[in-house]
């Protein structure tokens, strides 16, 4: 792990539907300000963050991103849960992301 950053999220076996789709994938990632570094090995892409306290807009983009590209282990995104975003992020069990991030049981 790149020790300069506190948080690492893994995107494994991402399926791109075309070369332009792959280009758009990386352009989208680069627009998420909280992502401080991107690298990868073989079929794994790593997203690095300085903190788990990221802006709501970035978290919403990550949720959409993982959902759109069907990235497994959306539960990794649960580490971004905090008191400031709990109301919309966790306490909305009908959100399209909720079951994939938190499972079916409420914590």
Q: pLDDT class for 16, splitting at 50, 70, 90?
A: confident
Q: Residue range 46-62: average pLDDT?
A: 97
- Between 27 and 106, name the one with better pLDDT: 27
User: What tokens does 4 get?
Assistant: 């300069």
| pLDDT over threshold 70, residue 26 | yes
Where are the chain's structural domains?
A: 7-102
pLDDT at 106 over 70: no
Residues 28-42, mean pLDDT to the nearest whole number: 95
Q: Is 68 exposed, middle or buried (0-12, 13-18, 19+ CB in 10 A)?
A: exposed
What pLDDT was estimated at residue 107? 45
pTM of the model: 0.88
């Amino acid at each position: 792990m790149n020790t300069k950053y506190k948080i690492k999220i893994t995107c494994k076996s991402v399926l791109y539907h075309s070369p332009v789709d792959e280009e758009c994938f990386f352009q989208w990632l680069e627009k998420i300000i909280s992502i401080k570094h991107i690298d990868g090995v073989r079929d794994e892409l790593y997203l690095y963050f300085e903190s788990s306290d990221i802006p709501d807009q970035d978290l919403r983009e990550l949720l959409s991103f993982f959902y759109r590209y069907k990235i497994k282990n959306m539960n990794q995104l649960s580490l971004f849960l905090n008191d400031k975003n709990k109301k919309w992020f966790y306490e909305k069990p009908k959100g399209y992301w909720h079951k994939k991030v938190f499972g079916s049981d409420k914590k």
